[in-house]
Amino acid sequence: MFIPPGFIQRSVALSLGTVAYIEADPNFWPAPPASSVPLLFIHGFGGGSSSYEWSKVYPAFAAEHPVLAPDLIGWGDSDHPDRPLTTADYLTLLGELLETLCPVPPVVVSSSLSGAMMVRVAIDYPDRLQGLFLVAPAGLADFGQDPSSSLINQIVKLPLVDQLLYRGAIATTEGIKLFLAQRQFADASKISDEIVAAYLKSAQQPNADIAALAFVRGDLSFDLATYLPQLTTPTALLWGEAAQLTDVALGRRLAALSPAAIRRFEVLPGVGLTPQLERPGLNVGLIQQFLADLAQ
């Protein structure tokens, strides 16, 4: 229902579980040129997140590039372990996705905390990537910020309360709508029924609360500022002017830490945390520009 026409879902077994991923249907699309750069789209974290987040963007590239969009472990249609994954687990997963799905180093397109994690993967494995296009990447503990200080963080640390909150206030139609309107979008009128349904489907998978609550508690947070000066992979940063939690000022501070690697910092007026859903056409154009810059 939520896979764009011309795409199919496959799966691959990795060390942490089975990962579901979307790729172009070879019976629908012509084979991309042999010299083309693969594009790997990685979704962010948050209630109901999945590869659907990029489903309005990656179809624009399928004729010219190999396109892959996985669900991370604990999200979407991938395995949902009955234990919280750690930041180290997700770094391992991202490295395995590069190694397994991308025999040719790709450009990775990612967002929020996943984008911050990809910076760390790029530092550890610079030869596995050609570039990073990141939307509001942040470790959520940047520049010494304490991710455990918020009220919601304190609430979800209470035994049983966390699961009750998730099932009763997050993994519901109204909960998803509120989350998208307050945290993800600047213009709530752009939140379609399909977007809500896709997020809800992911949020209601068995054990989906485990990964989501680990994220909300701040268990996966880290200080991206301590890693960025080591980045050498060509990178573009895209930031919604109205992004919640991670504002443009934070983005500028982070970008200043790696001026040689971060070649572009683009602010989108009137856009929230997920321009890939709120303004997908604009997102497509900026990725195309970045790919053209890399080609030069």
What's the average model confidence in pLDDT over 182-186?
Answer: 92
- Contact in structure between 17 and 68 (CB atoms under 8 Å): no
What's the average model confidence in pLDDT over 183-191?
Answer: 95
Q: Tell me: the pLDDT tens digits for 82-97?
A: 998 999 999 999 999 9
12, β-bridge pairs: 19
Domain enclosing residue 85, as ranges: 7-295
Instruction: Output the pLDDT for position 145.
Output: 86
Q: Tell me: the pLDDT tens digits for 53-64?
A: 999 999 999 999
Is a pLDDT exceeding 60 seen at residue 152?
Answer: no
Residue 233 lies in a domain: yes
Residue 1 lies in a domain: no
Residue 175 lies in a domain: yes
Residue 126 lies in a domain: yes
Q: Which CATH number belongs to the domain containing residue 192 in this structure?
A: 3.40.50.1820
Please report which confidence band the pLDDT of residue 14 belongs to, taking 50, 70 and 90 as the band edges.
Answer: very high
Cα distances (Å, whole numbers) of residue 31 to 63, 70, 176: 7, 20, 37
Indicate the pTM of the whole model.
0.95
Instruction: Output the pLDDT for position 147.
Output: 65
Is a pLDDT exceeding 70 seen at residue 1?
Answer: no
Residue 54 lies in a domain: yes
Count of C-beta atoms within a 10 Å radius of residue 77: 22
What's the average model confidence in pLDDT over 117-129?
Answer: 97
Residue 72 lies in a domain: yes
Instruction: Output the pLDDT for position 47.
Output: 84
How many residues does this entry show for the chain? Answer: 296
Which run of H or of E encompasses 295?
Answer: helix 280-295
- Contact in structure between 29 and 1 (CB atoms under 8 Å): no
Nearest residue to 176 (alpha-carbon basis) of 152, 199, 153, 210: 199
Please give the tally of structural domains in the chain: 1
249 by Cβ neighbours in 10 Å (0-12 / 13-18 / 19+) ranks as exposed
Residue 158 lies in a domain: yes
Residue 2 lies in a domain: no
Is a pLDDT exceeding 80 seen at residue 7?
Answer: yes
Instruction: Calculate the average pLDDT of the chain.
Output: 93
What's the average model confidence in pLDDT over 108-134?
Answer: 98
Residue whose pair of structure tokens reads 């989108």 in the numeric block: 268
* Strands (E) located in the chain: 7-14, 17-24, 39-42, 67-70, 107-111, 131-135, 235-240, 262-268
